[in-house]
């Protein structure tokens, strides 16, 4: 019998570095990161995890970003939170 945690926390890191390494804009890295988060959430639920928390940033973390990047991050959060997959 495998042990599965009841709660998983995801703290995304490296989306901008990934984007830079692939010659994308920072927010394109965040968009890809969101896709990977959903893949992780779906896999966690398939394995029996009951709760998943995703840390999306603190004030000080967002303060160091450009206005455009922050706007994209908030748009991605809004779009993600309205995703029907989350309502299952």
Query: In this predicted model, which residue has the larger pLDDT, 71 or 88?
Result: 71
For the question of residue 61 being annotated catalytic, the response is yes
In this prediction, residue 86 carries a pLDDT of 59
| Active-site hit among 13, 39, 47, 50 | 13
- What is the pLDDT, as a whole number, of residue 81? 82
Higher-confidence residue: 84 or 51?
51
Between CA 46 and CA 78 the distance in angstroms is: 24
pTM, to two decimals = 0.80
pLDDT at 40 over 60: yes
Q: What DSSP letter does each residue of the chain carry, written as one string? A: -----SEEEE----HHHHHHHTT--HHHHHHHHHHHHHHHHHHHHHTT--EEEE----HHHHHTS-HHHHHHHHHHHHHHHT-GGGG-
Look at 85 and 48; give whichever has higher pLDDT: 48
Q: Contact, 67 vs 56, CB < 8 A? A: no
Catalytic residue among 7, 47, 61, 85: 61
């Amino acid at each position: 019998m495998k042990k599965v945690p009841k709660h998983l926390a995801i703290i995304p890191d490296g989306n901008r570095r990934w984007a830079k390494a692939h010659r994308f804009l920072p927010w394109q890295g965040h968009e890809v990161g969101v896709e990977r988060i959903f893949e992780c959430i779906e896999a966690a639920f398939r394995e029996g995890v009951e709760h998943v928390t995703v840390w999306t940033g603190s004030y000080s973390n967002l303060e160091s970003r450009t206005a455009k990047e922050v706007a994209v991050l908030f748009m991605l959060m809004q779009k993600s939170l309205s995703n029907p997959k989350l309502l299952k």
